[in-house]
Amino acid sequence: MNIGIIIHSQTGNTRCVAQKLKEKFSAAGHTVSIESISAANDGESDVQRIRLTAKPDVSTYDALLFGAPVRGFSLSPVMQAYLAGVGALLGTKAGCFITHFFPYAWMGGNRA
């Protein structure tokens, strides 16, 4: 299976998780690519104002895994902007993961 891991990573933590997933899927015989989403204004919190500079094409993959950090107790605005424009994924196997640096659930980061 051709798997695309589509990520937004600010600190490298999400990229590290994506790399571990790639290793596991590759060891199981799958073809795996990690592609990054980026924005010219990465620090922007208003999803409507995000200007994406890298928008991976997901049409070539059999399955997708989306990964991004929690920011302000929600999914990163860059990933939100990307997902809003990615289009329908009907019939595509997909999953997601989030990353955060909060050691306890009560500290937040579990709403994304």
Contact partners, residue 77, CB within 8 Å, separation at least 6? 44, 45, 46, 47, 50, 71
Sign, CA torsion 31/27/16/18: positive
- Domain coordinates in residue numbering, the chain: 19-102
At residue 43, the pLDDT reads: 87
At residue 104, the pLDDT reads: 66
Nearest in space to 6 (alpha carbons), one of 17, 18, 16, 23: 18
Q: What is the mean pLDDT of each run of 10 residues along the chain (112 residues)?
A: 97 95 98 98 92 96 96 89 91 93 65 57
| pTM for this prediction | 0.89
At residue 74, the pLDDT reads: 86
At residue 90, the pLDDT reads: 86
Burial of residue 74 (number of CB atoms within 10 Å: 0-12, 13-18, 19+): middle
Helical H runs in the chain? 13-27, 77-85
At residue 18, the pLDDT reads: 98
